[in-house]
Amino acid sequence: MKTINMRGVTFGEGRMKIICPVTAPTVEAALETIELAKRLHVDAVEYRADRSVNAHDTDKLMCDLRRVRDCLGNRPLMFTFRSVPEGGHAELLQNDYIALVRAAISSGCADMIDIEHRIADAAAKELIDHARASGVISIYSYHNFNETPDAGRLCDFIAHARRLGADIPKCAVMARDRGDLLTLLAATERMTRGEDDTPVLTVAMGTDGVLSRLAGEFFGSCMTFCTVNASSAPGQIDCERAYAAVSALHECIKA
């Protein structure tokens, strides 16, 4: 599998990287969370702009993003505006969403950018291309809080994301039972077994999907979302507990 390096963190190699979502409504509270995360085993931070009180004001959001970037230091930063249909807390018209994501890419603050699959392919491709030209990692994401599609559909999504040029396809689905967990893991392994395959980020949400957040390295997932003081999705685990488990599993693989 190919690897991606950002600020000294290599995605797609070694243990799964720990990424902490910051979901605070104010930038002051976000900075407090980041200061805590910096003292823990956190490899990267996700700034969830849809949770911000400035979610509908791009200029203020970009000012907040700059403060987040300055506070975070040399750790990778992901910018995400998660829409309501994808499990988020705010909604924008498609053109406004595209403009916001473009602004975040152009800001020079974000190392990674989340691009939701729900927008038209042409718009997604334009944002992915703009991210690549700006040195920003593009994460093309799909979320399903109701079910886990069959492995064929998950593989088709990952293949489609790669055709669009996305650096990291992301699939987050709801595991209703352990069979759903196995479906996600099987699709992940199938799409990352080749040397030329790009890294993927997959997660089975909910109690039955917790193993995907810890053992993803075995199957090809490059990151896991973990909580510091507030979760952003069902089944997220405390950062330090996750780091201990992921690191122990990685040592077992090496052995």
Q: Which residues does the annotation mark as catalytic? A: 143, 170
SS3 137: strand
DSSP annotation string for 41-56? S-SEEEEEGGGSTTTT
Amino acid symbol at 247: S
DSSP annotation string for 203-232? EEESGGGHHHHHSHHHHTB-EEEEESSS-S
Token output for 105: 């890419």
Q: Considering only CA atoms, which of 215, 207, 203, 204 is closest in space to residue 242?
A: 215
Q: How many residues does the chain have?
A: 255
